[in-house]
Structure 1
């Protein structure tokens, strides 16, 4: 009997031990929804990266934007097209109206303006950048802002010409502000060609004709009412009786600029010999105009005339 009870006790203890081991077995810890979404996103991103080509998307976009040629657009000038960076492009132009004169070129973007080199009065060279560019040739009336007056049988321009040329002319002291105020200074050969259609450079005889028509003190009648230096206690200004507006623009001679404020020099179309030509001068210290000659390389002011019908 005792043995039976021992066997029952052992079986009871064994059953209790088995139930306790089941109750304390480790449970799985639930994973939060945010953790699942994060790992899911990482997995998706990882699989996306694996599905792309070897080159990244940024390098793909960069390569697609690369160009071998770039567009050049022009207005009132030839030379438009597509060119490689560094290629030199020849530009040309011609005014649609003979009364219009070239007045420079505009380059956009303006940072490429230095790539433009003037070759002649109607051509230029442009070094193409790795960018799109727009270039326009600009024109203005050859007698822009210039009036006229009639003395005797001739019509004269009443201001000095300021028509741009690549060579043969300059602004006093090479300042564009002086060109606007005084006009340009031209050498003789350029002066003979610069008057616009229907006008011409006055001859020595044309100046004689005007001097005869004005009579005494012709220089004082031609000088402007201001801008002239005084001759000691005497004003150097004139009466400008005919609205000729002679101003003391000075000259350029052998590279030196001089006499601004004191003298006005005007080329005539009359040569003295192969190297010299006649000019007329108006001075701060005299009421008369004078006739002289000088080397054709000197730079003087220019007026134009036309015959009155």
Structure 2
């Protein structure tokens, strides 16, 4: 009963027209968990059309709070009629793709081939085409889910960008403990899905779910 976006979010404004903060040249933001930054990979807008934008958790949530003890539908940076998926909604997707409920609640690499089902198919490894780095056949994306996950990399809090064409990282709307929130990661040479919590000042991709 879920309908997910097939592309990474590219928004620079909230649904009410309020602008997010352009993080170009923002430098080290390791101590800033409140500014609502968005980024283009390498601060280069040419990457946005394929990979979407990267966001800090503050930008994703737009002032809303989300936690395991305080779940709730958060529109955040998503357009009207859509919301930021929480950790449980990610688990629901993973279980639909074949992961057991027990596995879904674990951390780190879980499942068998659910990650491959989420990843865009193809392994040419040329950054501009959005495909993943070459990997063995057992790890390659087949996109059986239609999710079309692309390896958009991330923006670290110290201003560096990394892992374009190697990793896809997605925020959830669920806080782990301050200043961390739950995430998902897909990697070019893993077929599973990685569940972990990370520092909120990272720049990660966002997918939205239909209300």
TM-score by length of 2: 0.70
1:282 corresponds to: 186
User: Does 2:10 align with 1:162?
Assistant: yes
Give the whole-Å Cα distance in 2 for the aligned partners of 1:229 and 1:190. 29
Displacement after TM superposition at 1:166 (Å):
2.6
Counterpart contact for 1:225–1:239, Cα < 8 Å: yes
Larger strand proportion, structure 1 or 2?
1
2:54 corresponds to: 185
Displacement after TM superposition at 1:183 (Å):
0.2
1:222 corresponds to: 118
Give the whole-Å Cα distance in 1 for the aligned partners of 2:58 and 2:164. 22
Query: C-alpha offsets along residues 95-132 of structure 1, whole Å, 9 cap, x if unaligned?
Result: xxxxxxxxxxxxxxxxxxxxxxxxxxxxxxxxxxxxxx
Query: C-alpha offsets along residues 190-227 of structure 1, whole Å, 9 cap, x if unaligned?
Result: 11221011111000000000000001411000100121
TM-score by length of 1: 0.48
Query: C-alpha offsets along residues 155-184 of structure 1, whole Å, 9 cap, x if unaligned?
Result: 100100011233411100011111111000
Displacement after TM superposition at 1:230 (Å):
2.2
Q: How many residues align?
A: 154
Displacement after TM superposition at 1:237 (Å):
3.3
Give the whole-Å Cα distance in 2 for the aligned partners of 1:161 and 1:184. 6
Q: 1:238 aligns with which of 136, 141, 147?
A: 141
Between structure 1 and structure 2, the one with the greater Rg is 1
Distance 1:182 1:273, change over 3 A: same
**What secondary structure sits across from 1:190 in the alignment?**
helix
Structure 1 runs (4+) greater than 2 angstroms displaced:
233-237
Structure showing greater relative contact order (alpha-carbon pairs closer than 8 Å, 6 or more residues apart): 2
RMSD: 1.4
2:33 corresponds to: none
Counterpart contact for 2:97–2:145, Cα < 8 Å: no
Displacement after TM superposition at 1:290 (Å):
1.1
Larger helix proportion, structure 1 or 2?
1
Q: What 5-or-longer segments of structure 2 have no aligned partner?
A: 13-19, 23-36, 62-75, 99-111, 123-130
